Amino acid sequence: MSESSHHLTDRIVLEGMQFYGFHGVNAEEKSLGQPYVVDLAVEMDLSIPGKSDRLEDTVSYTHLYRSVRKVIEGESRNLLEAAAENVAIRVLDEFPVKAVQVRVKKPRPPIKGSFVENAVVEIYRVRA
């Protein structure tokens, strides 16, 4: 395996970030809101910070978290797909990452006459 191809698989992952948002098609979802759980993975070369041990050479977990929070706790979206897409766009715009994977979970979605633990949308976007 070449050194450059190895770095394409380096990832920073934040799992189980919990937020309260107002996404959905139903009026109740938009007015009452509900919890959301987001997993985020970003791909970037981590060999430099791995050697330097300096925060300036990587991406801050805190800044990634805040970026996701602004989207999920921000403007209401009808679809989980739109919320996930907006997280991906924001992360690619704000951070020097090669790719981003976003997983947005809506626990206990309001599907009449059923019990579903989570509705989940997962997307993967690569820097153009």
Report yes or no on whether pTM surpasses 0.85.
yes
Cα dihedral 77, 82, 83, 86 sign: negative
Whether 78 contacts 24, CB under 8 Å: yes
The set of catalytic residues is 106
Range of the domain at 105: 3-126
Q: Which two tokens stand for residue 113?
A: 């006459």
15 CB-near residues (< 8 Å, 6+ apart): 39
> What does each C-alpha distance from 38 to 6, 52, 99, 109, 128 come to in angstroms?
26, 30, 16, 15, 23
> What does each C-alpha distance from 62 to 58, 100, 116 come to in angstroms?
12, 16, 31
- For residue 6, the model assigns a pLDDT of 52
Number of domains in the chain: 1
User: Residues 75-116: pLDDT tens digits?
Assistant: 999 999 999 999 999 999 999 999 999 999 999 887 788 888
Give the residue ranges of DSSP H helices in the chain. 3-7, 27-32, 47-52, 61-72, 80-94
Residue 42: give its domain's CATH number: 3.30.1130.10
